[in-house]
Amino acid sequence: MQAMSTITLPAPDPVDKRLPGDLAIWFFILAELLAFAVFFSAYAFARASHVEEFNLYQQTLDRNLGALNTLLLITGSWFIVRAVQAAHRDDIKAVPPNILLGWLCGGGFLVVKVIEYSAKFGAGISMSTNTFYMFYISLTFFHFMHVILGMVILTVLWFQARNGAYGGHNAHGLESGAAYWHMVDLLWIVLFPLVYVMR
C-alpha cells in the first residue's frame, strides 16, 4: 500500500524539468538580455552606415586582451558551475573555494579591462572621438558594470557558502547567482567577436 502511494504521487513537474534558481532572476536575466540585444543591433546597424570608420578603428583595439578576457569569463563561469555541482552532491566544503576562484576570474577581467581602458583614454580617446569609439566605450563599459554586479553577488554567495548555506538540501540562492554570472559570460561571448573581430 505504501509502495503504491509512492508510485502514484509523482510531482506534476518531473524532477528533470526544473528551472535552476528563482523564477525572478530569470525574468531579470531576460530583461538584461533584451537590453543588450538592442545595443548589439544598434552597433551592427550603425556600423552598416560607417563601415570604413568601424573597420579602421576596430584595428586599434587590443584583440589579445579581448580574447584573454573571454577566457577569464568562461573559466570564471566554469568555477561557479563547479560550486553548484559541489552543492548538489552535498560537498559543502568545496563550494566556497570554487566561488572564490570564479570571483578571482572576474577580478582578472576587470584588471585587464582597466589596462585596456587606460591605454585608450591615455591616447586621448573618448566617447565623443567618433561613432565607433562611442559604441566601443559604452557597450564594454555597460558590460563592465555587469561584471562588477556579478562579483558583488558572488561575494554574498561566498559568505553564505562559508556558513554552509548551500548543499544538497538547498542550492536555490547559489543557482540564482550562478545564472546571473553565466549571463555576464554569455553577453561577452557575443560582444567580443562583434566589437573586436568581425569586419
Note whether 9 binds another protein by CB under 8 A.
no
Q: Which of residues 26-45 bind another protein (CB under 8 A)?
A: 26, 30, 33-34, 36-37, 40-41, 44-45
Per-residue contact flags (x/-) with another protein for residues 83 to 122, judged by CB under 8 A? -xx-------------------------------------
Q: Could you tell me the smallest distance in angstroms from the CB atom of residue 18 to another protein?
A: 7
Neighbours of 33 (CB within 10 A): 13
The rounded distance, in Å, linking the Cα atoms of 104 and 151 is 9
Q: Which is nearer to another protein, 89 or 126 (CB)?
A: 89
Q: Which three cell numbers stand for residue 189?
A: 561571448
- Residue of 174, 172, 182 whose CA lies nearest to 150: 182
162 within 8 A of 83, measured Cβ to Cβ: no
Q: Could you tell me the smallest distance in angstroms from the CB atom of residue 155 to another protein?
A: 20
Residue given cell 570564471 in the structure block: 76
Q: Could you tell me the smallest distance in angstroms from the CB atom of residue 103 to another protein?
A: 16
The rounded distance, in Å, linking the Cα atoms of 170 and 178 is 14
Q: Give the number of C-alpha atoms closer than 13 A to the C-alpha of residue 129, restricted to the C-beta side.
A: 17
Site residues (vs another protein, CB under 8 A)? 13, 16-20, 26, 30, 33-34, 36-37, 40-41, 44-45, 47-48, 51, 55, 63-64, 67, 70-71, 74-75, 77-78, 80-82, 84-85, 175, 178-179, 182-183, 185-186, 189-190, 192-194, 196-199
